[in-house]
């Protein structure tokens, strides 16, 4: 054979040839759209740091869900901004809680759309942490894992009762998956699946989300329960525990800086694997595009394709609706 080998180039000559040899195909089937639901009616409140993303009242969330279903997007994930916060986040298990209202309304309006609920407390607690806070003997405060687990079980039972198909715990509590599985099974919700935020890193890229979800911690940070960005073995251990505890699907979050973790998780466990292209990752593309520095559509497709190529079966992305139109 003569060198250089010209084979690679021959197959890149035309769009059709490239299409024939493409290894990763992004599809609308891969997308999960995050939605932020707030009290009121007729309200769509845009968020500065996340252009195109808004807090919406239940009626608006229903309208949006219909559009997403029409576009072929299989699932939405709901985040709630409650009427009132308290130290324990009791809105999360109230029959009239903001997420419960949204789940019921979407369930009625959209027959086939899969409804995923994010399961956490930080949007619902007045201190902004992902559970109940207790005070150590030395006076410092910490997330009380076991007390939080009890409330978690109540939250999940309530989401299931109102019609959630999949619950997605994002609080990084130890033992959260087994507590949830047991709670669901005891209540007769064997068919409700668990998508665990199994490897969730303590990331600076959640900044804009905390604006839209109004969930920034009042004191301290989440580094004692979310993972150190420097670790991959630990991520695999976290995922192994969640798989053992009964997770049906696992998630790596954020996505782009953790593609190596994603690849290992998919290889090692072979479960349906999701990746969350988070608010800061989204905002970076938006901001650069707004300045004319990046081609938004091209970069959004490239990034989402890369996440899938690394091993994600599903991508939670604020670009879901745009991608559904572009693909």
Site size toward ligand PBG (CB under 6 A) is 13
The CA distance from 274 to 255, in Å, is: 9
Q: Give, as ranges, the residues between 126 and 165 that touch ligand PBG (CB under 6 A).
A: 130
215 is a contact residue toward ligand PBG (CB under 6 A): yes
Residue selected from 56, 61, 78, 120 as contacting Zn ion according to rule CB under 5 A = 120
Q: Which is nearer to Zn ion, 37 or 310 (CB)?
A: 37
Q: Is 200 a catalytic residue?
A: yes
The CA distance from 19 to 225, in Å, is: 43
Residue selected from 61, 106, 116, 122 as contacting Zn ion according to rule CB under 5 A = 122
Task: Draw the binding track, 83-122, toward ligand PBG (x: CB under 6 A; -: no contact).
Answer: -----------------------------------x-x-x
**Active-site residue, selected from the candidate residues 253, 266, 286, 308:** 253
Among the listed residues 75, 90, 123, 78, the one whose alpha carbon sits nearest the alpha carbon of residue 320: 75
Residue selected from 60, 129, 181, 222 as contacting ligand PBG according to rule CB under 6 A = 222
Q: Which is nearer to ligand PBG, 214 or 268 (CB)?
A: 214
Handedness of CA 192, 198, 203, 205 (dihedral sign): negative
How far, in Å, are 74, 76, 246, 278 from residue 68 at the CA level?
A: 8, 8, 30, 19
Burial string for 127-157 (b: 16+ CB within 10 Å, else e) reads bbbbbbbeeeeeeeeebbbeebbebbbebbb
Helix axes 259-269, 296-310, angle to 10 degrees: 40
Q: Of 6-14, 80-88, 202-210, 319-327, which segment contacts ligand PBG by CB under 6 A? A: 202-210
Find the length of the chain. 327
Structure tokens at 114: 């899969």
Task: Draw the binding track, 25-64, toward ligand PBG (x: CB under 6 A; -: no contact).
Answer: ----------------------------------------
The CA distance from 44 to 37, in Å, is: 9
Decide: helix, strand or coil at residue 74: coil
Q: Of 67-75, 154-162, 203-211, 230-238, which segment contacts ligand PBG by CB under 6 A? A: 203-211
* E-strand stretches of the chain: 31-38, 44-46, 54-57, 75-80, 114-119, 133-135, 141-143, 166-169, 193-200, 249-253, 273-277, 314-317
271 is a contact residue toward ligand PBG (CB under 6 A): no
227 is a contact residue toward Zn ion (CB under 5 A): no
278 is a contact residue toward ligand PBG (CB under 6 A): yes
Q: Which is nearer to ligand PBG, 23 or 210 (CB)?
A: 210
196 is a contact residue toward ligand PBG (CB under 6 A): no
Shortest reach from residue 211's CB to ligand PBG, in Å: 10
- Residue ranges binding Zn ion (CB under 5 A): 120, 122, 130
Contact positions vs ligand PBG (CB under 6 A): 118, 120, 122, 130, 170-171, 206, 209-210, 215, 222, 278-279
Positions annotated as catalytic residues are 200, 253
């Amino acid at each position: 054979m003569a060198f250089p080998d010209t084979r690679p180039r021959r197959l890149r000559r035309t769009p059709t040839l490239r299409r024939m040899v493409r290894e990763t195909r992004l599809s609308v089937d891969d997308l999960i759209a995050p939605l932020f639901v707030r009290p009121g009616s007729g309200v769509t409140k845009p968020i500065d740091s996340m252009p195109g993303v808004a807090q919406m009242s239940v009626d608006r969330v229903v309208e949006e869900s219909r559009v997403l279903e029409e576009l072929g997007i299989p699932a939405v994930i709901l985040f709630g901004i409650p009427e009132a916060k308290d130290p324990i986040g009791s809105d999360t298990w109230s029959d009239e809680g903001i997420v419960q209202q949204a789940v019921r309304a979407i369930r009625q309006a959209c027959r086939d759309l899969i409804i995923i609920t994010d399961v956490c407390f930080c949007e619902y607690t007045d201190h902004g942490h992902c559970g109940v806070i207790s005070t150590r003997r030395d006076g410092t405060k910490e997330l009380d894992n076991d007390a939080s687990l009890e409330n978690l079980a109540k939250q999940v039972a309530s989401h299931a009762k109102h019609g959630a198909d999949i619950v997605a715990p994002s609080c990084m509590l130890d033992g959260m998956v087994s507590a949830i599985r047991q709670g669901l099974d005891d209540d007769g919700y064997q068919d409700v699946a668990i998508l665990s935020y199994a490897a969730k890193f303590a990331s600076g890229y959640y900044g804009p989300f905390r604006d839209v979800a109004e969930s920034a911690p009042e004191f301290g940070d989440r580094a004692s329960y979310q993972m150190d960005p420097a670790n991959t073995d630990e991520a695999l251990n976290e995922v192994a525990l969640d798989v053992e505890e009964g997770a049906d699907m696992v998630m790596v979050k954020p996505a782009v800086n953790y593609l190596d973790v994603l690849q290992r998780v998919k290889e090692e466990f072979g479960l349906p694997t999701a990746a969350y292209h988070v608010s800061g990752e989204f905002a970076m593309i938006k901001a650069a595009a707004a300045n004319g520095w990046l081609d938004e559509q091209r970069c959004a497709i490239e990034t989402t394709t890369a996440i899938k190529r690394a091993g994600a079966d599903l991508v939670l992305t604020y670009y879901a609706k745009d991608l559904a139109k572009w693909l």
